[in-house]
Every structure is written in structure tokens, then in C-alpha cells.
Chain A
Amino acid sequence: MGHITLSQVTKSFGDVNVIPPLDLEINEGEFVVFVGPSGCGKSTLLRLIAGLEDVTSGHIAIDGQDATEVPPAKRGLAMVFQSYALYPHMTVRKNIAFPLRMAKLDQAVQDKKVEDAARVLNLTDYLDRRPGQLSGGQRQRVAIGRAIVREPAAFLFDEPLSNLDAALRVNMRLEISELHKQLDTTMIYVTHDQVEAMTMADKIVVLRAGNIEQVGSPLELYRRPQNKFVAGFIGSPKMNFLTGATAAAYDAQTIGIRPEHLEVSRDSGDWKGVVGVSEHLGSDTFFHVPVPDSDDPLTVRASGEVDLKRGEEIFLTPIQEHLHRFDAQGLAIR
């Protein structure tokens, strides 16, 4: 259960082509994250899989069955919406039981499933409250509960954490990951936050303007980005890019080096610069160093112990094996 195949799927709204022909394979039990900047078509892609939008052309198969024309309810998928989409006039119990009620299950079976889901999600004490009386995190869990009870072939999450505050987001991230381990069901998760993608995913799908830029495990994407876009999108803070003579020295149009792969020295090194703004996070310090061949100042990660003043002259040396080279089209040179 939970093997989803997209073949040559396209979607246009009127004349606007949102998703050009796209192929994607999602394996059983995988945690797949669609990530990309806003407007890249990741939510549309999720809605196509859910059946809330019709594909313009192409096919979607779920567990080997063609599901392209199957209505959403019959696809055996459950979705958690960005706004949670809880039914405000129903109690938590009724919200979670709603899909079961629609499936006309026995009352006793319904009760048992709701109780089980509530126990898994720590909602037992809140079953008789209404969504309006719950906190953001609790609402989120109710929405997940409503999805769990259906025992779907796959879960679809549409930016589920974007309405939560930072601390809660970290918590829910762990809870969802934990849930995935427990249920061992395919999950497809849409987000614009690459940190969520990196921490939760088995497989990340990086999208730009409807195109899949790269598919791979988080570390694969981090270590071997196929192009400049993926290199710049994955990783935080962003990768530094240099062009001009500095890049030409490496036989590339552009070279990229992550902030954590630059060595700082006061006396000698490849590139010379002057320290600009520094951000102290305690464990790490990020220095912004303007250099000639980069539009933005280079970001350099150093240990929190390193103490450099603004205006101090320093030398930066990239660690050769972590240097990424890109050609004129932005593709990685290997």
C-alpha cells in the first residue's frame, strides 16, 4: 500500500502551464518532501495526487491502479491542510470520526478507532472540546488524527506547520517523524522550508516552476547538488557563489562553497576579505565577508570561540573536496 507513480503529468490553469510533463515515483513507506520556493507548483502537485485538481494530461497510479479519474475520496489518501480545515461546529471526537461516519462504520468500531487515534496523538482529554477551544498544535494533531483513522495508503501534508510558532514547529516536526516511524505509511509533505525538508525526509523532491530539479536523499542533495538552484536552496545558511576570475581558476563559470566549508585564517589563504557583519549564535558565529567576485558577501561559519572584529582583514580558504563547480547553464561539473 502507498506506492504512487506519476507519469507525464501536466497541469495548466487556462493558458498558464503550472506543471510541465513530470514523472515521479514514490515508494511504499517513504517520507517524501516536495520543497521549493513559493509558486513552484508543489501544492498543485500535491492536490493533483489528492484528486482535488484534475490533471491536464498524464497519469497517476496508486498501488499500480490508474487513479487519474478516481474521485478524491476513493483514492485512499488522507490530507492534512495548511489551515487544518477542522469542522468548527463539531467536537474533536466528531471531527476525527467524520471520515468513519462517512464510510458508515459501526458506532462501536468508530469509537474504538477514535480513542486509539486520540491516545497516539495525546488528545484523549480534549475529545469533547471544539476546535475553537484548542491551541494551534492541538488543532494540528486533530487534523492528523482525522487522517490517521482512515488508515490511508498515503498521507498528504500541505505545509502543515506554517501556522505554528517556531518552538512548536520543531516539536511537531519530531512528532510527525515519529508518527511516520510508527505507522510506516507513505507520507508526502509539502513545504517551502528546507530545514523541514532536510530533517524529515527520506527523499526530497526539489521543484522550481513545476520542474523537478533534483530528487534524492537529504544528504545526497546537500553533498552532490545537480545544479546551482538546488545547491543554493538546500542548506542553511545558503551556499556562497563566486564568479569571474576566482571561478575561472577552477575551470568553471560559477563555483559554490558552503559557509561551513570555508577555513578562516588571519595570515594566509586563497581569498582575502574584510569582516563585515557578524552573527553570533553562541555555538557558531557567521561572518559576512565581502569579496570581489561575489555579488553578496560570503557567509563563513566559524566556531563560536573565534573572535573577529568588524573591519579586520582575514583570509578564506575553501576546502577543495567540498567545492562545487557549475557551468554556464548552472549545471554541476563533476
Chain B
Amino acid sequence: MATQHSRSAARIMMAPAVVLLLGWMLVPLTMTLYFSFKKYLPLRGGDLGWTGFDNYVRFVTSSAFWPSVITTLVIVGGVLVITVILGILLAILLNQPMWGQGIVRILVISPFFVMPTVSALVWKNMFMDPVNGLFAHLWKFFGATPVEWLSDVSMGSIVMIVSWQWLPFATLILLTAIQSLDREQLEAAEMDGAPPLKRFAFITVPHLSRAVTIVILIQTIFLLAIFAEIFVTTGGAFGTRTLTYLIYQRVLESQNVGLGSAGGVYAIILANIIALFLMRIVGKNLDA
């Protein structure tokens, strides 16, 4: 990639990909921006002309806005905490030499292959059903009253379902990181007088920091947009309406494309604010 010629050749060859990606991003973004300034009600008159910032004001001042932002953040935060902590523990466990290691690893990773809709339905009907669910049977076995998971602890249930889906991803990334930890470092720490817990805290955890950063960044991107899990379980009721779900409701249930598009722009802003914070907090781990 040194000469003038090879550089321009490289640019030409990259151009199709760049153009495609830009188009992929720019077209929906411009359309969202365009609709967000319009009063557009598909079943009640269609395009009713420009409205300026009306949609933006209405979206934020709606009583559902702030709760939905909080809900989104709680779900993202909860899932991140659970997957990272359990992921580290599972990765350490899976890194121990044991019989049937290969099969156990595949089993641990398998939830990631289950489609979100399917896994949420399985959880809803098989585990969390207050009458026939496994949890209900377990509770009854111990003489307790079955919990109505999706209505009484709706947020907890959603966080649990989503965590179950994302735990394999975290485990997988963290496992590969743990495998790259130099054994001699642990032995050196052992000789230096560090007991197992301190070895974990001073050697293993810092070694994992980069992998944890990657897990947090990637998961945040996907978790901000979770939809199927909420759609098939609570349908946004019982305080589980995230920003994504609110936008969906505005566009499809209220048939107000303009209002929903304004919400979409807010979602972009929220995602960027979070990304900015994350990069500030954990991004430095990616250097060096």
C-alpha cells in the first residue's frame, strides 16, 4: 500500500463497499429525519404536511418517554452486569480441564443459536407460566405460591431471558481471553504470595479487561434494540416498554409515522450518548 498507484487502486476497489454501506445507513436515516418533521398518519389521511418540531416536542413530553428510557437503561445495565459476572465465572469453570469438555462447551454456547423469539416463548410458556411452568411446579413443590413472573416481576423476567441469550456470547469471548492468560504469570503471583482470590483479582481480572470491554460494547449495541423478547412476552406492559418498543407502538399501533420517526431520532441520540460514555469509561482498555 505504498505507491500512489496502489493507493488509488485500493480506493477504487473499496468504493463499492463504502458506497453500499453509506447507502444502507444514509437512506433510512434521511427518511427517518424526513418523516420526523411531517405529520404522517397512514390510515388517517396520510401525509398532512410539515409540522416543524411538533413531533419531537410531543414525543418527549409524552408521559411514556422517560419511563421508557429508564426501562431501556435498566435492561441493558442489568443484562450487562449479569452476563459479564456470570460469563467470567463460567469461563473460568470451562477452562478447567475436565471430562467431556468439548461437549460441555458446545452446550454452554448453544443458547446463542436459539432465535430470540423462540427462546422468549420457551421461557414464557415452559418456565414462567404461573400454572404449568417449571418454576410454578418448583415453587409448589416447596409449598410456595407460584410467582406470576411476567406481570409481577416483569423487568426481572425480561432481564433473565435476555441474559440467558447473551451469556454464551460473553462466556465465549471471555473463555478465549482466559485461555490466552500466561500460566507463568499465575505461578509467579503464587510464588509472590498471592492467594487464589488475589490472583484472580490482580492477574486474571486485569487480563480480562479488554475482553470485558468488547463484550460490553458489542452487547450494548444489540441490547439497546431488543424487541422480540418484549413483543412475545409482556407486549410492553407492566413497565417493560423500552424506547424501541415505544417507537414501535407509536408507528404501528398509533399509526403515527412522524411521531415514531422523531422517537427514532431520539433513540439515535441516546445510543450515541451511551456509546460516548462507554468509550470514555472502558474504551481506554482497547489501547495498547
Give the B-binding residues of A (Cβ under 8 A).
50-52, 71-73, 77-79, 81-83, 85-90, 98-99, 102-103, 130, 132, 146, 150
Q: Which of A51, A73, A130 interacts with B192 by CB under 8 Å?
A: A73
Chain A residue contacts of B191, Cβ below 8 A: 50-52, 72-73, 77-79
Asked if residues A98 and B182 are in contact (CB atoms below 8 Å), the reply is no
Question: When chains A and B are docked, how far (Å) is the Cα of A99 from the Cα of B191?
Answer: 8
- Residues from chain B with a CB closer than 8 A to the CB of A102 are 192-194, 198
- Cα A36 to Cα B207 in complex, Å, equals 35
A298 and B265 alpha carbons, distance in the complex (Å)? 85
With a CB–CB cut-off of 8 A, which chain A residues contact B182?
83, 85
Q: Is the beta-carbon distance between A73 and B194 smaller than 8 angstroms?
A: yes
Query: Which of B184, B185, B193, B207 contacts A73 (CB under 8 A)?
Result: B193
A89 near B190 (CB under 8 angstroms)? no
Residues of B within 8 A of A132 (CB): 288
Instruction: Check: B34 CB closer than 8 A to any chain A CB.
Output: no
Residue B53 interfacial (CB < 8 Å): no
CA distance A146 to B202 in the complex (A): 15
- 27 A-B pairs within 8 Å (CB atoms) are namely A52-B190, A73-B191, A73-B194, A73-B195, A79-B188, A79-B191, A81-B187, A81-B188, A83-B182, A83-B184, A85-B182, A85-B185, A85-B187, A87-B185, A87-B189, A87-B202, A88-B207, A98-B192, A98-B194, A98-B202, A102-B193, A102-B194, A102-B198, A103-B193, A132-B288, A146-B188, A150-B192
With both chains docked as a complex, state the minimum distance between the C-beta of B73 and any C-beta of chain A, in angstroms.
Answer: 30
B52, CB-defined interface residue at 8 Å? no
Q: In the complex, which residue of chain B has the Cβ closest to the Cβ of A143?
A: B188
How far in angstroms is the closest Cβ of chain A from B163? 28
Q: Are B187 and A89 in contact (CB under 8 A)?
A: no
A81 touches B189 (CB 8 A): no
Supposing A89-B206, A89-B207 touch, asked if A99 and B192 sit within 8 A by C-beta, the answer is yes
Can you add 17 more A-B contacts, CB < 8 Å, to A73-B190, A85-B182, A89-B207? A50-B191, A52-B187, A72-B190, A72-B191, A73-B191, A73-B192, A73-B193, A77-B191, A81-B184, A85-B188, A87-B185, A87-B189, A87-B203, A87-B206, A89-B206, A102-B193, A146-B192
CB distance from B91 to the nearest CB of A (A): 18
Q: Is the interface of B mostly helix, strand, loop or mixed?
A: helix
Which residue, of B187, B190, B191, B206, has the highest number of chain A Cβ atoms within 10 A? B191
Interface residues of B in 178-223 (CB under 8 A from A): 182, 184-185, 187-195, 198, 202-203, 206-207, 209
B184 interface neighbour in A51, A72, A78, A85, Cβ under 8 Å: A85
Q: In the complex, A123 Cα to B28 Cα: how many Å?
A: 58
The number of residues on chain B lying at the interface, defined by a beta carbon within 8 Å of a beta carbon of chain A, is 19
Determine the residue in chain A with the shortest Cβ distance to B190. A72
A98 to B202, CA, bound (A): 9
Q: Kindly provide the distance from the CB of B177 to the nearest chain A CB, expressed in whole angstroms.
A: 13
| Complex contacts, B185 vs chain A, CB 8 Å | 85-87
A266 to chain B, nearest CB (A): 56
Chain A residue with Cβ nearest B199: A102
CA distance in complex: A146, B185 (Å): 13
Bound together, the chains give a CA A130 to CA B287 distance in angstroms of 13
CA of A79 to CA of B206 in the docked complex: distance in angstroms? 22
Which residues in window 145-195 of B have CB below 8 A to A?
182, 184-185, 187-195
User: Within the assembled complex, what's the spacing in Å between the Cα atoms of A242 and B41?
Assistant: 103
CB-defined contacts of A85 to chain B, threshold 8 Å: 182, 184-185, 187-188
Counting from the closest, the 7 A-B pairs by CB-CB distance are A85-B188, A85-B184, A99-B192, A73-B193, A102-B193, A89-B206, A81-B184
List, in ascending order, chain A residues with CB within 8 A of B198's CB: 102
Q: How far is the CA of A87 from the CA of B206 in the complex (A)?
A: 9
CA distance A102 to B188 in the complex (A): 12
Q: Which residue of B lies closest to A150 (CB)?
A: B192
Q: Which residues of B contact A77 (CB under 8 A)?
A: 191
Nearest-Cβ distance from residue B94 to partner chain A, whole angstroms: 23
- Nearest residue (CB) in A for B185 is A85
Cα distance A132–B287 in the bound complex, in angstroms = 13
Cα-based distance from A50 to B185 in the complex (angstroms): 15
CA distance A90 to B207 in the complex (A): 11
How close is A210's CB to chain B, nearest CB, in angstroms? 21
CA of A73 to CA of B188, assembled, Å:
10
Cα A87 to Cα B191 with chains together (Å): 13
**Which residues of A have CB within 8 Å of B187?**
52, 72, 79, 81, 85
Report chain A residues within 8 Å CB of B194.
73, 98, 102
Interface centre among B184, B188, B198 (most CB of A within 10 A): B188
- Which among B193, B194, B206, B207 has the greatest number of chain A C-beta atoms within 10 A? B193
Residues of A within 8 A of B206 (CB): 87, 89-90
Min Cβ gap A26→B in Å is 18
Interface centre among A79, A82, A90, A103 (most CB of B within 10 A): A79
Which residue of chain A has the shortest Cβ distance to B205 in the bound complex? A89
Q: Once the chains bind, are A99 and B203 in contact (CB under 8 Å)?
A: no
Closest to B188 in A: A85
What is the bound-complex CA distance between A82 and B207, given in angstroms?
Answer: 20
